[in-house]
Structure formats: C-alpha cells, structure tokens
Chain A
C-alpha cells in the first residue's frame, strides 16, 4: 500500500478548499485599489476591513489593533525593530529565549550590532522557559520581552499569560511570535496580557505571503515600511487584497472549528507518539508531553541521521521535517534541539511530524507502518547501531 501523506503542516499547510475559492474569486473581482475613491476601490477596502475584523476576532483583539503584513517574518521584524527604535531613549535591553524562530533571533542579532543588549533565556529540558530566570533578567532598561507562543520544532507551548503578566507589572512590552499557535490553540491577547503578536496565514489554511501583527492600542512601534497611507500609515504598500481576504476567511473558519479539530488532531498525535516510542527502541520524545501543540510530534531516533530519514520517508510518500545539520544547511543541528540539552548526535536523528485536521487516522496508520521499516533499514546501514548490537 502506498499513499501520499502530508505531515509537515508546521512548515506550511495546504490551503483550505473554501478559502481557496474565496481567494480565486477575489483575485478576479476585487482588483480595485482599496485606496481609490470609486466603488471598485471602496468595495475592496470594505472586504479588507471585514478580514481585519475576522483576524481580530480570532485572537480577541480590536480591528484597529491589526496590521496586515507579508507574513510571520515581517511581523517579527516589524515588532522587534519597531519597539527597539521607538523605545531606544528608555533603554536598549531586550529579553528573548534561545529557542525562538530565526525571524526573531536574526533580528535580535542585527540589533545587537547596533548597540542593543539581548538576554537569551535558557529553556528547561521540556523546552519551556524558567519564569524565575525571566524575572531575574529584567532590568531598568529592559524595553521588550519577545518569547514565542509555541515552538515550531518541538511544539512546546510557553506560559504566555504569566510572561505577559510579569511584563505588565514591569511596564515592559511583551511580543510573542504566535505563528505556530494561531488557529491551533486558543489565543486571547487580553486574557494572556499580550501587547504584540505575530501570525502567518499559511500556517492555518490561508495563502502564503500574508500575515498580521497585532499591536495593542497605545503601543507605538516605529513604522516599518514608509510610503503611502495604507494600514493607517504604519505599513505602506498597496494591500494584498485577495490574500488578506483569504486570511480573514481562513482564521474565521479554523477558529470556529478549533474545538472539533483539536480533539481529532490530538488523538492522532498521541497515537503517533505512543506507538513510535513503544515500537521503536532508542527513541525519545522532544518537547513537553502535555504543554504541546495538538499536531506536533518530534522524536529523535538514535544511530540515524535526519536527512536520510526524510528522503526515505519521501520515497514512501510521506512529507516530514528534521532538525539535523544536513537539513539546516549548516554544520550544527537545530538550535532548539541543542537548547533542550540534546547532544549533537541525537539532535541529528530528529524527525518532526506535524499533522492537522486534514490528516486522517489512515495517514497515521500508514506512517506507523512505514516509519519502523525505514528506521530499521537506516540503522542496519549505520556503524553506530552495529556497535550497540555487538555490545548487546
């Protein structure tokens, strides 16, 4: 039995069918420039504002607090650089974590070259920050805390509400990269004390190239793209109308179905984790077992290397991801896996399966049929496995 199983939804998702149709229709019809005075332009503007409301509703925000961007990376760049510049007179210290996405880490690196000082919090073995360490890291000149909502590799969900509370008490702005969280777990910016939040449409059934940044009323980051008056002058450029409309439709649909999806997806995730750990020896689950995204599975297989594993799975029609050096394009494996304390050789053998509601139990069964064979085949080829077997 051979089939195609897409299990890399943390990388990107297939567009939702309804959303796709809305977008196609919009591409055809809503071509008017939303800044134009005539009806064709005004109509497009109205649709964009409807999408803004949909996005705001998805995270418990107000429409006026949503800025559309080109995606998660732009939102992260905008939030961090925008606050750094706007608050430079108050201080130049920023707190983050060691397991952030590169859109955050590399932005912070760039700022550190401009004289900003960054504290990168360690994470515990389960991938969660130590709240006490966060409290200790806060200084007079701390202007921003940026800690991700949920990790893209190991799926760990941070204690966002608590982090936000600490930030509020200390009058520090709290930004969270929620690219992996929105649409998959409940996000409420007010309940969770979030000041700024990044999201990306293609992680929840929307199109690529569009995202949003939530900026709480009263917070004023420096504008990111200068030009026309779009997005209330904060982010210039003619709006990506069809994508924005599709993003609105996608978030509305996914949040309305979240409860139902979570039950289904979590059951598939748990079956994958439990069966793999039980059936395949020399494995370990990376990330927290409970405080974890509903669709994230990240497991290390000793004695084998991740890229080989991905290629073998691909030959069997399964799309997945890994944190090995070979897939990261550098000599080191994923910074996230190293930060939770994995030795290099175990980090090289990691596999991430990220499933969503479009997957089925049949997909799960197929993965569970193929994966043990592939792992065994690669282990038989591995000189490291040899040594273990000979030792007994």
Chain B
C-alpha cells in the first residue's frame, strides 16, 4: 500500500495536534475496537473557527486525515466547515488508498461532532450534525 507524499508529510509532521482547554466544541468519533478514534477540539469566536486541535488513535491515514481536516477548517467560517467533505480531505492529501477512505470519513464526522457539541451547548439544534458515525462500518467508505 502506497501513501502519497502529502499523506506521509501530514503523518510525520501532523498539524494542530493537541487539545484546547475550555474548547467551545469537542467531538469524538470511532472506537478503539476498530482501531480508529478521532477527537477534535474547536475554539469558536463569533462565526469563525479561530483554533482547532486534534488527538487521534489510529493508522497513518487516520493521523494524516485528522491533520489535513484541521488545516482545512482553521480560520474558516462555521458555515464553510460544515460543508467540508471527506472527499475534499482526500483530494487535499493527493488521494488515499481505497481501504483507507473510511479514515477521511471519520475526519469529516469528527468535525461535525465537534460542531454539534458547540451548538448543543448553546441549545441550538442544527440539522445535519446529529449523528456522528461509529467509525466502524465498511459502509462508511461509500460516503465517497
């Protein structure tokens, strides 16, 4: 299995690793049994994501997609972040092996879960964010 140079770069030098204290939104998807867990922390000011950090347990692709996804939404409006697709993450990484596409789905879901947490704390129900996937189904890959 071959990873692109971009994937290897984001794996070897992941951006935005860590956590944010008193984050405005925290989302976690996946489970240890399947070998992938992603947790995203968001700092939101107004309608802008001013900071984002992640912690990931998983394979090289899981780390790289987490890193790339955080890069793609950092400094962006919430509205834009909500539109982030796993496909965009994959493209930004110059592709992923087919068996690793579910990792990109996890990254998308982790961001949505964090945004959902942000809105839930504010008492707002935001459509399209409610059900982060468990991160453990082969079916996930069909999101692509």
A and B are partners in one complex rather than unrelated chains: yes
Asked if B35 and A325 make an inter-chain contact with CB atoms under 8 angstroms apart, the answer reads yes
Considering only CB atoms and an 8 Å cut-off, how many residues of chain B contact the other chain?
Answer: 29
> A305-B59, A329-B99, A381-B17 are known contacts. Are A344 and B12 too (CB-CB below 8 A)?
no
Q: Which of A308, A312, A324 has the most CB of B within 10 A?
A: A308
Question: Is B14 close to A, CB under 8 A?
Answer: yes
Query: Which chain A residue shows the least CB distance to B28?
Result: A383
> A308-B11, A329-B99, A331-B138 are known contacts. Are A345 and B32 too (CB-CB below 8 A)?
yes
Asked if B11 and A311 make an inter-chain contact with CB atoms under 8 angstroms apart, the answer reads yes
Contacts of B39 in A (CB 8 A): 383
> A305-B62, A311-B11, A331-B138 are known contacts. Are A382 and B57 too (CB-CB below 8 A)?
yes
Contacts of A343 in B (CB 8 A): 33
CB contacts under 8 Å to A, within B1-54, are 1, 8, 11-12, 14, 17, 19, 28, 32-39
Chain B interface helix/strand/loop/mixed: mixed
Contacts of A384 in B (CB 8 A): 32, 37, 57
CB contacts under 8 Å to B, within A320-367, are 324-326, 329, 331, 333, 343-345, 348
Whole-angstrom CA separation of A105 from B57 in the bound complex: 31
Q: Report the interface size class on chain A.
A: 20 to 34
Asked if B34 and A308 make an inter-chain contact with CB atoms under 8 angstroms apart, the answer reads no
Whole-angstrom CA separation of A329 from B97 in the bound complex: 11
Question: Is B55 close to A, CB under 8 A?
Answer: yes
Question: Is B86 close to A, CB under 8 A?
Answer: no
Question: Is A376 close to B, CB under 8 A?
Answer: no
Contacts of B37 in A (CB 8 A): 382-384
Question: Is B75 close to A, CB under 8 A?
Answer: no
Contacts of B62 in A (CB 8 A): 305, 308
Whole-angstrom CA separation of A307 from B1 in the bound complex: 11
Whole-angstrom CA separation of A289 from B13 in the bound complex: 37
Whole-angstrom CA separation of A344 from B38 in the bound complex: 17
Contacts of A311 in B (CB 8 A): 8, 11-12, 60
Q: Spell out A's residues near B (CB within 8 Å).
A: 303-308, 311-312, 315, 324-326, 329, 331, 333, 343-345, 348, 380-386
Q: List 8 A–B pairs whose Cβ atoms lie within 8 Å, in order of A's numbering.
A: A304-B57, A329-B99, A331-B34, A333-B35, A343-B33, A344-B32, A345-B32, A383-B28
Q: Spell out B's residues near A (CB within 8 Å).
A: 1, 8, 11-12, 14, 17, 19, 28, 32-39, 55-63, 99-100, 136, 138
The 6 closest A-B pairs by CB, nearest first: A345-B32, A326-B59, A307-B59, A383-B55, A348-B35, A344-B33
